[in-house]
Amino acid sequence: MTDMATDTATNASPPRLYEIVDRALRAAIGEGRLPEGLVLLEGPIAEIFQTSRAPVQRALARLEAEGLIHRFEGRGFLVGPEAAGPAPLRADIRGFGLDAPEEIDEALQSRASWERIYAVAERQVASCLVFGRYRIVEAEMADHFGVSRTVVRDVLGRLQERGLIEKNPSSHWIAGPLTARAIRELYEMRRLLEPPALVSAAPTLPREVIAGMLERLRQAEAAGPKPETMDAIEEDLHVRCVLATPNARLADALRHNQLPLLATHAFTRSLGIADDQPILAEHRMALELLAQEAWPAAAAVLETHLLAAERRAIARLKTLAVIPGPTNLAPYLTKTSDHA
């Protein structure tokens, strides 16, 4: 079954935003309302659909994979297959009859519902990963947050997409455990993927953005690594830089491998387990090389940093092993030894 068939095979919940954007763009291209060579930019499309750029990015990636649009030397995509070769047509897309369908309102309402609780659910799930295996009970989660089972399934689906939970053969939602072996495997994937992603993203990163990241790092080095600043510093390099890669599939794979580690790391900081000063120096070296446009050297420093980060993560796991477990566990999380 194709990705699209998998995404749209069920009518149990409203279509996701990227599906609506995908269908609208696909129809407009098929009907000729968006002519070959028209430049498609994320921002104007997001404005039409009243959404963020993320659903637009995913929709454009799907259309590109099918050859309905293609990248070119400029910013954005061109309508039509790459072989068509028309000159880029830069015009306001709103002048070509692209309108948001009525179903966008329902999808936006559904999105608002799950987004309202997602951050809390992610934090609660991340807090248990290092303490063992936990089952998530949908009905209890719905009661806990005061939402419908449909909204809960949206949240659980996104937690699964981000690698924090999975379904076992009995169709139970399971979180954890994050073991030393799992940490090694996740970091191995990150070392394979993040350095080339950084090289591909580097030319698109504005110098003033990198300068702001470096200034934040220098302030943190002067004050010491504090929990309230470390999350932003981690995000600067591993999210704002690395995930800026123009390869949407690579970015999706990276998010899947990053989130369990970043979320669990944020939880350990909340327990007062401090970060080591070398983390700041490693980030600063990578960013300084990016600022100098020494992109392969920055990627090599990133790989070395990830090796060191793996060792630190395993050391933190051993520290957490002496803690009996989370004292304020969410009621929808139930400890289980079930490995099925």
Q: Write out pLDDT tens, residues 282-295.
A: 999 999 999 999 99
Residue 236 and residue 198: Cα distance in Å, rounded? 12
Distance, CA of 217 to chain centre: 23
Please state the pTM of the whole predicted model: 0.58
Listed in order, the ranges of the chain carrying CATH 1.10.10.10 are 3-101, 112-178+327-335
Long-range contacts of 189-192 (CB under 8 A, 24+ apart): 189/253, 189/257, 190/254, 190/257, 190/258, 190/261, 190/306, 191/303, 191/306, 191/307
Mean pLDDT of the residues in the chain: 81
Task: State whether CATH 1.20.120.530 applies to domain 180-320.
Answer: yes
Listed in order, the ranges of the chain carrying CATH 1.20.120.530 are 180-320
For residue 50, the SS3 value is coil
* Mean pLDDT, residues 19-25 taken together: 87
Question: What would the DSSP string read from start to end of 276-294?
Answer: PTHHHHHHHHHHHHHHTT-
Query: How far is CA 3 from each of CA 25, 30, 71, 337, rounded to the nearest angstrom?
Result: 17, 20, 21, 33
Query: How far is CA 50 from each of CA 54, 60, 338, rounded to the nearest angstrom?
Result: 12, 16, 43
**Comparing 87-101, 133-147, 152-166, 239-253, which segment has the lowest mean pLDDT?**
87-101
- Give the domain 112-178+327-335 fold: Arc Repressor Mutant, subunit A (1.10.10)
CB-CB neighbours of 34 under 10 Å: 23
Question: What would the DSSP string read from start to end of 100-130?
Answer: --THHHHHHHHHHHHHHHHHHHHHHHHTTGG
CATH code, 3-101:
1.10.10.10
Q: Write out pLDDT tens, residues 236-272.
A: 999 889 999 999 889 888 887 776 676 666 666 555 5
